[in-house]
Structure 1
């Protein structure tokens, strides 16, 4: 019974998200009290499905790029040949946290123009830090006995990395990716200020027209996406931990 409730909750949230995106008119009675002066209760300036899919696509591309760069950097600085680059690497991945995403967008637009590219750059920079730090933590807190055993059986450094270190560190690395994804889902909404097709369009349309119904629609869809992706990635972390023989937290 205890396992059935989480599954039921996940299914309910997923069904709600699908219904909000595919059949938003079903929810008009709920949103109508949030409107004034006969304003539409359901966002009618574009397709919620198209905006949602594009929003997720932008976040996925940015997080994949951030994961590749952050993980490679963390691997490099945990090897003897790259240990001296740790301070520089930390300075690089902290850039996204030093500058707010809005500032990054403002700086990127003159060079990249309006659209998706400035948003991708902002999300990429913003997502580096949690992935890098978690990968670093995962690779530097491995059980010494396991690493020594791998070295003792004659594994090369590359074999130890691919067969021992990364599999054991995978749950911690995925936790950093999960954090990056959740942050990026919310942050991506500001991409609509530079003409990126994200769910921020719904929220901005509501703010500019004083239509609270639009703001709530956009916010609820982003929130449901964040909860479902967070839950899915957390489940993947637990599966990786069990596979590596680690007791899930």
Structure 2
């Protein structure tokens, strides 16, 4: 994974200040949980299901799109959920390179030694993270029920 704090100083000279380096850093940071969960979901499928699809004459592409990805969807969604929540919480550091994020309030509080600003920014980010986590968890559970697999 690529830590955003390490990517931001490298991205700013290439794309300038603002949202672009922040988005690059968050994109690179969010790849690992999605990739790991996709790999886990696809490699832990029941062998008899994959073999039945093969025995039914499905090509590799058909097995992937009609059997393996749908059965892996809840686990892949878990990686997306984790990546989104981590990125939301980490996006506040984008304010250090002039991106318009909730980190502006936190940084203003730190610079002026204003605890109210720090708490305001931190609590809003925390509340958003919890709401998004719960919403994506509900989607993940729904998908798991529809695919006949329990959420892991």
Once the two structures are TM-superposed, the CA of residue 238 in structure 1 deviates from its matched residue by 0.7
Partner of residue 108, structure 1: 11
Matched residues in 2 for 1:247 and 1:203: separation?
A: 39
Aligned residues: 152
Aligned twin of 1:175: 78
Aligned partner of 1:151 among 54, 70, 75:
54
Give the alignment's Cα RMSD to 1 decimal. Answer: 0.9
8 Å contact kept, 2:33–2:79: yes
Q: 1:17-75 CA distances to partner (integer Å, 9 max, x unpaired)? A: xxxxxxxxxxxxxxxxxxxxxxxxxxxxxxxxxxxxxxxxxxxxxxxxxxxxxxxxxxx
Aligned residues of 2:106 and 2:121 also touching (Cα < 8 A) = yes
Does residue 244 in structure 1 map to residue 144 in structure 2?
A: no
Matching of residues 179-198 of structure 1 within 5 Å? 179-198=82-101
- Secondary structure of the corresponding residue to residue 218 of structure 1: helix
What 5-or-longer segments of structure 1 have no aligned partner?
1-93
Runs of 4+ in 1 over 4 A off after TM superposition: none
Is the partner of 1:229 in helix, strand or coil? helix
Per-residue Cα deviation, 1:59-116 (whole angstroms, up to 9, x for no partner): xxxxxxxxxxxxxxxxxxxxxxxxxxxxxxxxxxx3x1xxx31221011111110000
Corresponding position: 1:124 with 2:27: yes
Q: Which residue of 2 aligns with 1:31?
A: none
- The unaligned stretches of length 5 or more in structure 2 are none
For 1:174 and 1:245, the matched residues in 2 are separated by 15
Alignment check: 8 A CA contact 2:33 2:83 kept: yes
Provide the rounded CA distance (Å) in 2 between the counterparts of 1:248 and 1:116: 34
Q: TM-score, normalised by structure 1?
A: 0.60
Give the distance between the partners of 1:128 and 1:201, measured in 2 at CA. Answer: 25
